Chains A and B, each alone.
Chain A
Amino acid sequence: MSSAACRCGLCCITPPLMLETIAQRAKRPSLKRWAEDTLAVTRSLREARLSASAPDPEPELAARPKPEGKQRAVYSARQGQSLPGSLIRPEGAPPTGDPAVDEAFDGSGATYDFLKTVFGRAGLDGANLRIVSTVHYGRGYDNAFWNGKQMVYGDGDGEVFLRFTRSLDVIGHELAHGVTEFTSGLVYWEQPGALNEHFSDVIGVLVKQWQLGQKAEDADWLIGAELLGPELRNPPGHAVALRSMKAPGTAYDDPLLGKDPQPAHMKDLYRGLADQGGVHINSGIPNLVFYRVAIGFGGYAWEKAGRIWWRAFTEPGRMSARASFREAAKETIEVARLLYDAQAAALVAEAWDSVGVVPTGVRKPTPKPAAPKKTAAPKKTAPKATTTKRAAAKAAPKPAAAKRKASPKGGSKPAAKPARTQGTRPRAGASALAARSLRPTRRG
């Protein structure tokens, strides 16, 4: 579509997909680093361009030296859709009495403090980037989002959903999208997108548990419980939150909302095209893994489980931008071993295994391999032909990671690649895909 048809300035920017592909695929570390560095520069240029496209409401800030510590600013869109809107509460200003403004301010402060205190992270970019939030976005707008530059919160319609700043875990979730953008850069599509969502849910619940001083076993592990409106509080429906990390797929079953579509196991993985390939749906699988790991360790979830996840998801060179669940499994298991011990790694491995995810690398032949790899087989071979005994015994996805790495092309579309890494069978035809895109596949 033409850029003239767009309502905002964001959509006219072509993401540097080619660089992402190089950064993802390059085997030579120097080339990989080059692509990543260039991406980082591109990102900062994009930021600058975005800033330039809208008048800075605080021009005097730009002239000042780089701010130290926590720098928040909450704006109001005043029911419009222009961003960032009017500045209502800058850092250091007293509470305004407007709950949306003050919740966004306090919530982003709590998230900043959590990241700084627990993980030593200085803000979203690690360099105290100003934390910009806009509240009162749109009329009755039932959403909150990260637009690549700032957090945006709707007031909700008042009946089904209340204002989205009510849930601290939702605020933490949005800020974590910013962290992801500055670290792993997980592509917002299919499995890497579901991991992006998952990491945001993890940070969201951890901020809340940290704020409450709550142990893993005492927390509710719900996302967005506080923003459910009066319409959802009463029968005939049942709704406790937007998502449950403890029991994915059980957060609601309501005439207005439908049934919570989140799977809790790979066998129920959503393969449709809606929701960016199910990023908010399939995040249920890694969410349950994190919950089980946190409960397995016991105590404060941010101390061990959180530390493992933080490092796996943010350490440079660890999680790739197109990571599959299998890669996330491999990285979290490895980090658990690095940070703690074999027992911790086993706990993490068991949690992934319990949802049907086999870590990347597990299929690698051991010194006495019983099942020789058949990666040279044709791409669409039936699963049985390429599945190792071990993977078959676990009813787990076929070992496709090697194939993914070897694939000569496919970087032009983020969509197709990650899906295959977890496929237990050849992809269905386009028409079946289109039909499925209308409905989450639930077989469990």
Chain B
Amino acid sequence: MAERRPRSGASQAPLAALSILRSGGVAGLMRRRTIDVASLTEAQRQALEALAASPAAGPSPGADRFSFTLTLAYADGTTREITVPEERVPDALADLLR
């Protein structure tokens, strides 16, 4: 789910940090990772921004699937949290969110 107050595209500060929490799965484990933002490809950055700008995801069918909570921190000090169910991970982020 994207943060409620949307950032305008024009005033976006660069992404400074990205952390990923994977939760759920039949094991119910939580796995936290911090991603080096310098290593992100342009396609990954664009996909992240598209996710951050999209409306909150509704419930998904099934059970025991993974869920990813992304915390994006920007250079201007703002942060945003997005939750993406496993089955809605865009192709561009498949390597990042697994």
Considering residues A10, A187, A261, which has the most beta carbons from chain B within 10 angstroms of its beta carbon?
A10
Pick from A13-21, A206-214, A354-362, A370-378 the stretch touching chain B. A13-21
Q: How far is the CB of A245 from chain B (nearest CB, A)?
A: 13
Contact: A161 with B50, CB < 8 Å?
Answer: no
Pick from A56-64, A68-76, A275-283, A304-312 the stretch touching chain B. A275-283
Q: Point out the residues of chain B lying under 8 angstroms from A149, CB to CB.
A: 61-62
Contact among B29, B63, B66, B94 with A196 in the assembled complex (CB-CB below 8 Å): B63
A6 within 8 A of B: yes
Number of A-B contacts (CB under 8 A): 133
Q: Point out the residues of chain B lying under 8 angstroms from A1, CB to CB.
A: 50-51, 54-55, 57, 88, 90
Considering residues B30, B66, B85, B89, which has the most beta carbons from chain A within 10 angstroms of its beta carbon?
B30
Interface size on A, residues (CB 8 A): 53
A164 within 8 A of B: yes
B26 within 8 A of A: yes
Interface size on B, residues (CB 8 A): 36
Contact: A275 with B23, CB < 8 Å?
Answer: yes
Q: How far is the CB of B91 from chain A (nearest CB, A)?
A: 6
Contact: A261 with B30, CB < 8 Å?
Answer: yes
Contact: A11 with B85, CB < 8 Å?
Answer: yes
Contact among A17, A262, A275 with B67 in the assembled complex (CB-CB below 8 Å): A275
Contact: B61 with A6, CB < 8 Å?
Answer: no
Q: How far is the CB of B70 from chain A (nearest CB, A)?
A: 12
A414 within 8 A of B: yes
Q: How far is the CB of A439 from chain B (nearest CB, A)?
A: 8
Q: Point out the residues of chain B lying under 8 angstroms from A275, CB to CB.
A: 23-24, 28, 30, 67
Contact with B along A243-278 (1 / 0, CB 8 A): 100000000000001100110000000000111100
Interface residues of B in 1-60 (CB under 8 A from A): 21, 23-30, 32, 47, 50-51, 54-55, 57-60
> Contacts A10-B61, A177-B64 known; A145 to B88 CB distance under 8 Å?
no
Contact: A188 with B26, CB < 8 Å?
Answer: no
A224 within 8 A of B: yes
> Contacts A224-B26, A274-B30 known; A2 to B62 CB distance under 8 Å?
no
Contact with B along A37-76 (1 / 0, CB 8 A): 0000000001000000000000000000000000000000
Q: Point out the residues of chain B lying under 8 angstroms from A15, CB to CB.
A: 58-59, 61
Q: Point out the residues of chain B lying under 8 angstroms from A258, CB to CB.
A: 29-30
Q: Point out the residues of chain A lying under 8 angstroms from B57, CB to CB.
A: 1
A440 within 8 A of B: yes
Contact: A2 with B54, CB < 8 Å?
Answer: yes
Contact: A143 with B25, CB < 8 Å?
Answer: yes
Contact: B62 with A146, CB < 8 Å?
Answer: yes
Contact among B21, B63, B85 with A438 in the assembled complex (CB-CB below 8 Å): B21
> Contacts A144-B64, A275-B30 known; A414 to B91 CB distance under 8 Å?
no
> Contacts A7-B89, A145-B64, A414-B59 known; A274 to B69 CB distance under 8 Å?
yes
Give Cα distance in the complex from A248 to B61, angstroms.
27
Can you name the residue of chain B whose Cβ is closest to the Cβ of A193?
A: B63
A328 within 8 A of B: no
Contact: B23 with A148, CB < 8 Å?
Answer: no
Give Cα distance in the complex from A1 to B91, angstroms.
13
10 smallest CB-CB distances across A and B, nearest first, come from A280-B28, A148-B61, A274-B23, A145-B64, A1-B54, A5-B90, A275-B23, A177-B63, A148-B62, A147-B62
Known: A10-B62, A187-B59, A275-B30. 11 other contacts (CB 8 A): A5-B88, A10-B87, A147-B65, A173-B64, A242-B26, A257-B29, A258-B29, A261-B28, A276-B23, A276-B67, A438-B32
29 interchain pairs, CB-CB under 8 A:
A1-B51, A1-B57, A1-B88, A2-B54, A7-B87, A11-B60, A11-B87, A13-B61, A14-B58, A46-B61, A142-B25, A145-B25, A145-B62, A145-B63, A147-B62, A170-B26, A173-B64, A174-B64, A180-B63, A196-B63, A257-B29, A258-B29, A274-B30, A275-B24, A275-B67, A280-B25, A280-B26, A414-B59, A434-B81
